[in-house]
Amino acid sequence: MTRYVSILLTFARACLVRDMTFRANFVLECVTSLGWMAMNLAFYLLVFTFTPEIGLGTGWTKEPFFAFVATGLIINSIVQALFMPSAEELTEMVRTGGLDGILVQPLDAQFLLSMHRVDFSAFANGLVGVGLLAWAIPRLPQPPHPVAILLYPLLVVCGVAILYSLVIMLAAATIHLGRNQSLYDFWFYLTNFSRYPAEIYSGPWGGPLRALCTFVIPILLVVNVPARVIAQPLTGQGGMMVAGTVFAAGAALVISRWVFQTALSKYRSASS
């Protein structure tokens, strides 16, 4: 384990050195990333000029909703920084045969393939998320319970674990498809479901969709549970939600590991 941590730190240091070699590009990447986020925030502000809350009686008024958005920013920035760059590279490695070189390394292939690149510019959004959360929390209708504050980091880690599992499973699909240029798009579209409070998925179609995205692909647990814990009063259901999220994160990691290993066993080298 210590060996893997040490290797991960070496990867991170190498990526940081490379990013700092092209400082202007790094700053530009941060700025564009922040621009994307600012655009989304502007959209939410626009929505709140037309409505006092997202969904009647849901409690997602402006400040709680921005705490929700901040949580999403933090979780997504961690995943974007630590896992997405490597997963995107895998799609080309499979097609070009570059994966062969990874498989012969004396290290766990999933570790190498999912963590060898770190995109430090993606942390910019996470920092803004932390700032937005710091702005929203004192303005919440009810201050968060001390237990909620303790649970919040754990639930953020669970959210990251669920998303990581999803990235790994999508990357594994590359091995079957030969090429998966749509990986990033699919990731974007799928995580789109987690960007809004679960309450919006209601009615004859919304109910089943909510169940699907909670129990089958637990994408709705990723942001909703930590955001709800911090932004809305803890109720009796809160304990169940927290336990369910921790379980879902563990199960997602195990399943994604199995899917990835199975996919690797089906890999046929593309190189000569």
Partner 1 sequence: MTAAASDPAPSGFLARRRLGLRVWWTMLVICLEERLVYRGDFVLGTLMRFLPIVTQVFLWTAVFGATSSGSIAGYSRNDIVAYYLLTMVSRAFSSMPGLASGIARSIRDGSIKKYLVQPVDYVGYLLAARIAHKLVYYAVATLPFAGVFLFCRDYFPPIPDWTTLGAFALSLVLSFLLGFFMEATLGMLGFWFLEVSSIVFAYMLVQYMLSGHMFPLDMLRDIPTGVAGVSVADVVRFLPFEYTAYFPAAVWLGKVQGAQLVRSLLLEAAWVGVMIVACRIAWWRGTRRYSAFGG
| Residues at the contact surface with partner 1, assessed by CB under 8 A | 25, 28-29, 32, 35-36, 39, 42-43, 46-47, 49-56, 58, 176-182, 185-186, 189-190, 192-193, 195-196, 199-203, 206, 209
Q: Which residues contact 126 (CB under 8 A, 6 or more apart)?
A: 73, 74, 76, 77, 78, 81
User: Looking at beta carbons only, is 148 or 220 nearer to partner 1?
Assistant: 220
| Closer by beta carbon to partner 1, 80 or else 148 | 80
CB of 201 to partner 1, least distance (A): 5
Nearer residue to partner 1 within complex by CB, 200 or 264: 200
Nearer to partner 1, 108 or 185 (CB): 185
Full DSSP string of the chain:
-HHHHHHHHHHHHHHHHHHHHTHHHHHHHHHHHHHHHHHHHHHHHHHTTT-SBSSTTS--BHHHHHHHHHHHHHHHHHHHHHTHHHHHHHHHHHHHTTHHHHHTSSS-HHHHHHHS---GGGHHHHHHHHHHHHHHGGGSSSPPPHHHHHHHHHHHHHHHHHHHHHHHHHHHHHHHHS--TTHHHHHHHHHHGGGS-GGGS-HHHHHHHHHIIIIISTHHHHHHHHHHHHHS---HHHHHHHHHHHHHHHHHHHHHHHHHHHHHHT------
Measured from the CB atom, is 34 or 264 closer to partner 1?
34
Smallest distance, Å, CB 175 to partner 1?
A: 12
Q: In angstroms, what is the minimal distance from the CB of 36 to partner 1?
A: 6
Whose Cβ is closer to partner 1: residue 44's or residue 111's?
A: 44
At closest approach, how far in Å is the CB of 115 from partner 1? 23
Q: Measured from the CB of residue 32, what is the shortest distance to partner 1 in angstroms?
A: 4
| Nearest distance from C-beta of residue 271 to partner 1, angstroms | 18
